[in-house]
Structure formats: C-alpha cells, structure tokens
Amino acid sequence: MGERCAVIGVGQTRYTTKRTDVSIAGLVREAAIRALDDAGLTFADIDAVVVGKAPDLFEGVMMPEAYLADALGAAGKPMMRVHTAGSVGGSTALVGASLIQGGVHDRVLVVAFEKQSESNATWALSTHLPFGASLVVGAGGYFAPHIREYMRRSGAPDHIGALVAVKDRRNALKNPYAHLRIPGIDRAMVESTPMLWEPIRYLETCPSSDGACAIVLASEKAVTGTPAWIHGAAMRSEPLTRAGRETVSPQAGKDCAADVYRQAGVTDPRRDIDVAEVYVPFSWYEPMWLENLGFAPENEGWKLTEAGCTALDGDIPWNASGGVLSSNPIGASGLIRFAEAALQVRGMAGEHQVEGAATALGHAYGGGAQFFAMWIVSNRKP
C-alpha cells in the first residue's frame, strides 16, 4: 500500500437535473472549494489535481482536463485526467491516492463531474457505428438482459428490484445533496411505472444529474481536520468480449473485492464493514453486487435485500446516501460513493449517518460491468 493516505475533505454540489446557473468550470469549482473548505485548505495547499469524468461525448468538451486545469487551481502543478467509463469517479480517487501512497505528493485534489443536461447520455452511449445493427439503446438496454439472467438463476421474486428502488429513494430524503426526492415512494408506486427496458422499470433506474464531487487526499504528515484512512484500494478490468465471460457476477469484480479485502484485513465483509456505498444504477444491481462482493452467497443476495439488511437500520446499510439510484452525475457517481464512505467513517454524513460507522466500502463499476474500483476507509489509522 505504500505511504498512509487519508481523505481530509469532501465537497459536493446539490445534484439536480439541470444546473443551468453555472458553467462546467463553475460547477467543478463549487465542489472543489467545498472540499478545500472542509479540509481547511486552499488551492495553494494542493500539490496535484486529478480529474475524472465519463466520455467526452456527454458534454462535447474534448479533453476537459485541459479546459479545467486553471479553474481547479492546477496552474503550474501536475494535472491528469482518468477515464474508466462509469467507474471513473472511483478510479480517479484511487489514482489520486496512489500519488500519495507512492510518496510523490502530500496533498492531492480529486474532482469528478458530469453535466448531463448539456446533451443526452443515451445518445452519447449509443453512437451506432455503421455496418452493425442498432439494437442497444443506452445503459439500460445493455444491462437489462444481465438482470433478467440474474432473476432466472437466483429465482429471486420479481419485487426485489422495487424494494431497492424504494429503500434508496427513502435514504435520499435524508441527504441534502441527493437529486431525486420522492416523498411517499413505495413499492406500488415503483411497480406502477412503465417498463423501459424490460425487466427494468422507470423508477428502478438512476436519474440524469448535473453535479460534481471533490475530495482532498493527504499523506499522514499533511493531514488536517478529520481523516478517513484508506485501508485498501483496488481496480480491476476485464475484456467485454470473451467466451464464457460471466456477465451477471463478473470475475473482475470478484478479484477487485478480494484484493481490497485482503489489504484491509476484511475476511467477512458483512461483519467487518459497517456501511457500503455501492454503484447501483439499476435497482437489481444491489442483490447482484451483494453476491459479487461476497456479502451473500451466490443466488442469495436478494434475501438480504428482502430482509431489510441493507436498509439504513439494517445490519449492513447499503447506499445510505440514496446511491446512484437517487443521484447520477455519471462521471462523479463513483467518486460520490467513495466520498460518502469517507463521510460515514468521519462521522460527517449528517442525517444519513450510520451510527458508529468505523469501516466503509466505496465501490464503482463501469462500461459493460468491465471496470471496477473499490476502496475501504476507516476512522482508524492503518
């Protein structure tokens, strides 16, 4: 793992459908300055800046890291951009952490964003090259068959997805930054919404959000304020087109989890982790990732969801913040998971704080479930 590294500042914007009042630069600055304020620092205290976002086609800004360098106080400093599709927010945090763990820098500002209102993600994800058939429409069209296969294999009852959709949106009501606020949401409401990409219903999908998230990372000697210490950090990827590829519970996700648990000394994630922020953009991915991440045996993740184990008052709360299902500025969504995990162990999650949370998992996945990024943070120094 190298040098010790901690999250000492977190900044988020209020996620919403359209932030027409700010430019992209204004949006990322809002998050960055809040993270610096949280750490009691200014741009002058930062050694390097790492930026993450989803494909350039989303905003049509080519190489946004070049445009945003001075907006993020990076003039004269190292600046880089990370890109691993939907998992990018998580990967960006891990690249930032590696600069400290490797002993290169003492303080790194990590920023991720998406301003989805500037175009349309489904359009940007479905460019339909010539010669092929145009069949997959957006992320939902891609993931729906894998959810169907999970349902078949596990024999999970049809309503499990709706339970997750309700739970995460109820959690969102406790998070002042969350995008979707649906007071009174219940299973009947979710089940009354139309199937977009069957078996995915409208209220079982994430929203399109504008927003940015930033964190300040510090080496041990540069820590200010309340640290969330990184105990494990791992990324994995796998090829999308490989014969026999396991698409319901990808091997890369299992390998990534095994690596991060080994580093953090986690042997039983359900027991050893107090709260998890996991990338669940479609409700059924909660039970699927419960299994992939080893919180439940194969084909039994849905039983934890059904029993309320992942609720805010359950034994292993998942997505206390409301998760991706409630806020989805795509490029930032992974970093928000990582940042919320840090907020929980810093005791700074406000109304959605899980009492006594000492160890938290941040998780992100991207592409066709082919990129994974995870970290484990704790209030204890490793």
Partner 1 sequence: MPSDPPSALPADTPPAVSDPLEARHVLEFPGGYTRSTGPVIGRFLTELRDRRIVGVRTAGARVLVPPLEYDPDTGEAVTGEYVEVGPAGTVQAWAWVSAPRAGHPLDRPFAWATIRMDGADTSLVHAVDAGAAKAMRPGLRVRPRWRERPSGDITDIECFVPEVTMISAPVRAEYRVRPGAALTRFFTKIKDGVLLGGRCAACDQVYVPYRTSCPSCGALIEEEREVADTGTVTTFAINNLPDPRAPEVPFVSAYILLDGTDIPMIALVGGVPAHEVRQGMRVRAVWVPPEERTMPMANIRWFAPTGEPDVDLSADAPGGEA
> Where along the sequence are the contacts to partner 1 (CB under 8 A)?
20-21, 60, 122, 126, 128-138, 140-141, 144-146, 148-149, 152-153, 194-200, 239, 241-246, 251
Ramachandran angles phi, psi of 59, nearest 5°: -110, -10
Distance CA 373, CA 216 (A): 18
- Min dist. Cβ of residue 189 to partner 1 (A): 19
- Min dist. Cβ of residue 277 to partner 1 (A): 27
Among 114, 109, 69, which Cα is nearest to 93's? 109
Whichever of 148 and 270 has its CB closer to partner 1, that residue is 148
- Min dist. Cβ of residue 20 to partner 1 (A): 6
Whichever of 131 and 184 has its CB closer to partner 1, that residue is 131
Distance CA 195, CA 162 (A): 12
Whichever of 140 and 207 has its CB closer to partner 1, that residue is 140
Distance CA 349, CA 341 (A): 9
Whichever of 37 and 198 has its CB closer to partner 1, that residue is 198
Whichever of 1 and 61 has its CB closer to partner 1, that residue is 61
Cα–Cα distances in angstroms (integers) from residue 113 to residues 88, 155, 356, in the given order:
10, 37, 30
- Min dist. Cβ of residue 57 to partner 1 (A): 8
Whichever of 52 and 368 has its CB closer to partner 1, that residue is 368
Token pair belonging to 284: 């059924």
Cα–Cα distances in angstroms (integers) from residue 122 to residues 141, 148, 283, 368, in the given order:
10, 21, 18, 14
210-219 and 275-277 beta bridge pairing: unpaired
- Min dist. Cβ of residue 132 to partner 1 (A): 5
Q: Are 178 and 322 in contact (CB under 8 A)?
A: yes
Provide the β-strand partners of residue 235. Answer: 373
Distance CA 140, CA 142 (A): 5
- Min dist. Cβ of residue 139 to partner 1 (A): 11
